[in-house]
Amino acid sequence: MEKFEPNQEIRRDLTAEVSSRTKEEVLKAAAEGEEFFTESEILSLFTPEQQAIILERKKILSSLGYFISKNFEMPIELGIPTKQCPSGWRQGLKQQGEKKFLQMNAYDLLNKTMDELRFLTCHEGGHERISRLEEIPLEEWKQPGFSFMINAIEDPRDNNFVAEAYPKFKEQMELVYQYDLNLEAEVKQKAKQKLGYQPRFIQAGFEYIKQWFREIKGQKTQLSEELPEEVKTVVMATLESARDSWWRYPSREEADKGGKIGRKKVDGEAIIREYARTSYEINRDEIWPEFKKLVEADMEDQKMQEFLKDMQSGSKGQRLPQELKDKLTPEEQKELEEAIDRAIEEAKKEKQKGKEDKDSQNSEEKGEEEGAELEKGDKTKEGQTEKKGEAQGKLIDLDSLSDELKQKIKEYIDSLPEEQKKEITEKAETALKEFEDALNKEIQGKLSDNPEKKAEREEKTKREEIEAEKAEQPESKEKSWQEREKEREEEARERRKRMESLFEAGEKDPYHEALEKVSGLIDALTADLRDVFVKRKIEKYETGYRSGQRWNIRQRIREKVAGIPLFKTEAREQREAESEEMDYTITLLVDLSGSMQDNGKIQEAFKSAVVLAETLSNLGIKFEIVGFQDILLEFKSFEEQMDEPMREKLNQMILEVYGDNPGGHNNPGDNDDGACLLEASKHLSKQTAKNKFLIVISDGEPAMDSGKKSLSQLDRELREAVAEITANTNQKIIGLGLNSKAVAKYYENHIAGITTEEMVETLGELLREVIEKY
């Protein structure tokens, strides 16, 4: 490690930046949960000589942070370990609307080697460059164990990107691994203190990191011997997927200059988000179903811990419920009683130690002691809180209990009344999630953002805006707020009036009214089809990138060990391999002739379109929705997203049937099926998916009230169009006859005579069948 000498020019007079708070006040605020401090407040914790070193190192490392992150407007600030960020290192947003920032731990700048600091800076900059965790749905992120699993795989992914894009970083890989080993040791100690056992899912997460390090060193997979068998089983079942996920990152060139998604040229940010999305989907679909089993097993242990804590309030000999005693042998009763006694005794010792620590802190050296503890990321006050909680909790060392005893306790818990089981379960979930959250704060200091931070920041910003308005001039600002609320309500009423006048509907527009009715089918269909894709990925694993050229991971590892640079790699020179979902593209072509007004046919066809749109959007399958009269009417293209403006636009399909679409085509009297089918096929032919489906919903044969084409010509052209598409493309055409059997005349693959009541379910079953079959 190199020796560092500060630039003497940095030794400057800081009297112009005197902290508004004393050193003791700053340390106390950090221990109590305050997150951010001014530079002068942080520097007040150090001597002038130390300040010079800190500022010089910050200056040197800042240029590296900008270089890696490519965010040259990002403020780089000093920080210290706090309750919210124990590592003192982080980057992200302080609140909505502000620029992203990167924070460096001032204690680390003073005490760590420059090699270690370069690693931390590169790692933080890498997260800013490619991590996009804030886009994960909040309800998924909040599942116990899910966020830790994501973090455990995102860190190797970030390190891989930085090492490949900036080779100098490779020299710090040993430091990376040592950092993670130290963190694991700390976590194990805290788990024993806070939970009384080692959670399986935490062990699995750190094992992924260990196997990643073995991989980059060119070593074979070899699981840690001390791992429980169930953890080994899950890790082995998901390790290939974890590897797949942490190799899904853009090249430096892609991140800087952009590239292509499919055939569409996009900028670097779009490429970065696409890789991040793909990595997340692998984690969600391929790793989480197995990883979750460990979380569920840990939840059972935590329920047992909560139950045993509740039992300890009674006097000795009266703690165990008689029903439980009846299930235990005398030896097992003694084993459990002794474990409880040990827990109570340990709790008393911890409580006494906490009291002594508190007394010690009242000495003149209080500030220095707190600073030293903050420097290690283990704040004294937080430590006292933990010890107090432990004393009250009287945690049992579950690892000291025999497997037979633990099984009998679990069986007894399962036999309890539902209300009591619910209470124990809620306590267990809270305890396990709190531990995971605390652990994530250690790791997330290195992550760009996450869904909870994003939601909290947005809520905080909204609340502050409202409070600021009211505080400045209470009467006038309160009035201004009310006026704006009134304006929003008026705008909503106007939108509603427009929709009512167009559709003669109630408060909901046709799309959302239909969505409410078919939401259950959409949820079930989405779940079923996602299961199909997950099963295929498990049964037939494919390595490499989901889009673009496929990577041969083992080949690339060998190249890395040999020092072959990225631009000379042969590992990507293979055929393209896209995700299962990207292997499908679907066009829905809907008859918008006037006859669709009868018997509610357009309403059922429209519901079917809603089911298709929402389901395929949920799954990430590309699709197009078009209608036909005498020309093809385009409503939703393959490239457009299913957002609220698009949902509103799709309402125009109903208006076209009645000839009342403002600015629309409005020619429901003419139906030129053949010409429109060919046009829709041309759109579909431009897509690159392997499986292409053209689904037609129609209630009869082609016809034109205008007489531009005869019935025989229309009939002939439709038959010719179907024949041409069948012969010259790989598209599969399926005709759905709504209250009509006419589709049987034209389409080899068809379902004729579907009633309006059956239409929505029929389309759902069709989607399920074509994806399962092809």
pLDDT confidence bin for 485, thresholds 50/70/90 = low
Nearest to 664 by CA among 698, 631, 705, 625: 631
**For residue 10, what are its two tokens?**
């940095």
Is the pLDDT reported for residue 207 higher than 90? yes
Q: Which residues contact 528 (CB under 8 A, 6 or more apart)?
A: 768
Token pair belonging to 752: 């004729």
Reported confidence tier of residue 189, pLDDT bands at 50, 70, 90: confident
* Percent of residues, the chain, with pLDDT higher than 70: 74
* Range with top average pLDDT, 32-46, 74-88, 267-281, 532-546: 267-281
- Provide mean pLDDT across the span 266-285: 91
Count of CB atoms within 10 A of residue 448's CB? 25
User: Given this model, what pLDDT does residue 483 score?
Assistant: 63
Q: Is the pLDDT of residue 491 over 60?
A: no
Q: pLDDT above 90 covers what percent of the chain?
A: 30
Fold of 1-130: Zincin-like (3.30.2010)
- CA 203, CA 305: separation in Å to the nearest integer? 19
More confident residue, 347 or 463: 347
- pLDDT, position 489: 59
Query: Is the predicted pLDDT of residue 13 greater than 80, yes or no?
Result: no
pLDDT in tens, 645-675: 899 899 999 999 998 888 899 999 999 999 9
Q: 585 forms bridges with which residues in the sheet?
A: 622, 692
Higher-scoring residue by pLDDT: 102, 648: 648
Token digits of residue 742: 């006419």
Per-residue tokens: 633: 């009417």
Cα 40 from Cα 754, distance rounded (Å): 75
| Count of CA atoms in the C-beta half-sphere (13 A) of 425 | 11
DSSP string, 570-588: STT-S-B---TGGGEEEEE
pLDDT on residue 527 = 74
Least confident of 243-252, 329-338, 383-392, 429-438: 383-392
CB atoms within 10 A of CB 361: 16
**Contact between 606 and 658 (Cβ < 8 Å):** no
pLDDT the model gives residue 555: 58
What is the structure's pLDDT at 356? 64
Q: What is the pLDDT of residue 490?
A: 65
Question: Averaged over 582-589, what is the pLDDT?
Answer: 88
393-397, 520-524, 572-576, 735-739: which is most confident: 735-739
pLDDT at 211: 93
CA distances in angstroms from 103 to 128, 161, 635, listed in the order given: 12, 21, 47
Residue pLDDT, tens place only, 60-95: 888 777 778 777 667 788 988 887 777 787 766 655
Checking if the pLDDT of 368 tops 50, the result is no
Average pLDDT over residues 556-581: 50
At residue 724, does pLDDT exceed 60?
yes
Domain residue limits, the chain: 1-130, 133-311, 314-353+379-418, 473-507, 510-539+579-773
pLDDT over threshold 50, residue 127: yes
pLDDT value of position 316: 62
Sign of CA dihedral 476, 479, 485, 490: negative
Strand runs labelled E in 405-504 = none
Matching residue, tokens 């890789």: 275
| Cα Rg of the chain (Å, integer) | 32
Q: What is the mean pLDDT of the chain?
A: 78
- Can you name the CATH fold of 510-539+579-773? Rossmann fold (3.40.50)
Q: Tell how far CA 120 is from the center of its chain.
A: 24
Higher pLDDT, 3 or 293: 293
pLDDT of the residue at 657: 93
15 confidence band (pLDDT: 50, 70, 90): very low
- The answer, yes or no, to whether residue 760 has pLDDT greater than 50, is yes
Q: Which of 328-337, 340-349, 566-575 has the highest mean pLDDT?
A: 328-337
Per-residue pLDDT for 178 more than 80?
no
**Cβ(309)–Cβ(334) below 8 Å:** no
- Please give the residue that has the higher pLDDT: either 362 or 50: 50
**Residue 455 pLDDT grade (very low, low, confident, very high; cuts 50, 70, 90):** low
Confidence category of residue 513, pLDDT binned at 50, 70, 90: confident
**Element housing 210 (H / E):** helix 200-216
Residue 487 CB neighbour total at 10 angstroms = 10
pLDDT score of 704: 92
Q: Residues 552, 554, 557, 559: is their CA dihedral positive or negative?
A: negative
Measured CA to CA, the distance from residue 676 to residue 718 in angstroms comes to 9
CA distance readout (Å), 572 to 487, 520, 543, 549: 56, 42, 11, 5
Entry field: residues in the chain: 774
**pLDDT tens digit string along 148-169?**
899 899 989 998 998 887 777 7
| Per-residue model confidence (pLDDT) at position 629 | 95
Tokens 């691994």 belong to 177
Q: What angle do CA 193, 198, 204 make, to 5 degrees?
A: 140
pLDDT of residue 85: 78
Task: Lay out the sheet containing 90-92: strands in order across.
Answer: 76-79, 101-105, 90-92
List the structure tokens of 503: 């559709």
pLDDT of residue 221: 92
For residue 630, the model assigns a pLDDT of: 94
Ramachandran angles phi, psi of 10, nearest 5°: -75, -20
How large is the average pLDDT for residues 544-571? 49
At 313 the pLDDT is 63
Q: Which residues pair with 695 in a beta bridge?
A: 588, 734
